[in-house]
Amino acid sequence: MSADPREELVTHIPALRAFALSLTRNGSLADDMVQDTLVKGWTKIESFQTGTNMRAWLFTILRNTYYSNRRKAGREVSDVDGVMTNSLSEKPAHDGRLQMKDFRVAFEQLNDEQREALILVGASGFSYEEAAEMCGVAVGTIKSRTNRGRARLAEIMGLNESEALEMTDSATMAVVSARSA
């Protein structure tokens, strides 16, 4: 044997792979575990006592790695298609702030009647009928103010029908979008 125990690590790879295969029953996973074991053994070689059984030491590392991975896998959620991950993602806050600033500037340019109609119907969620009653005007007038307000907002903000305005605030999206009305 040489003076450096690291040189002996390579001689145990076939036995480690066979042991990993017996634990995992998966060649790819076994290879990953052997690699993890060798990396851990290499980085912690100072804890190996020269003159003792290196194979047993490496097998212990591999076994502990296997059971640690199993415990970890029990706490993890399988998300093959990325559905769960996509639902957890969050848009950068700066995008929403910039779009919100643009929206505020555009919204202030609307006339009072259009802003009032958009706030009542879009942001507050009132029906056209309820908004018309509150404003003391006909339902058709509220519908017209809302539609003209939305069209003017899109014009001021430079949006065309194929573009989607993505904001983090659902009330603001309701003001801009006719779908919520």
Q: What are phi and psi of 54, to 5 degrees?
A: -65, -35
Tell me, what amino acid is at 74? G
Neighbours of 170 (CB within 10 A): 10
Neighbours of 49 (CB within 10 A): 10
User: CA-CA distance, 48 to 12, in Å (whole number)?
Assistant: 15
What residues have CB less than 8 Å from 63, skipping those under 6 apart?
Answer: 19, 23
Position 117: which residue type? Answer: A
Tens of pLDDT along 30-82?
999 999 999 999 999 988 888 889 999 999 999 999 999 888 887 777 777 87
User: Helix 54-75 and helix 13-24: axis angle, to 10°?
Assistant: 30
Q: How do residues 30-44 score in pLDDT, each as one tens digit?
A: 999 999 999 999 999
Which pLDDT tens digits describe the chain residue by residue (181 residues)? Answer: 456 788 888 899 999 999 999 998 999 999 999 999 999 999 999 888 888 899 999 999 999 999 998 888 877 777 778 777 777 766 555 555 667 788 888 888 989 889 888 888 887 888 999 989 888 999 999 999 999 998 898 888 887 765 555 555 566 666 666 654 3
> CA end-to-end span of the chain, whole Å?
81
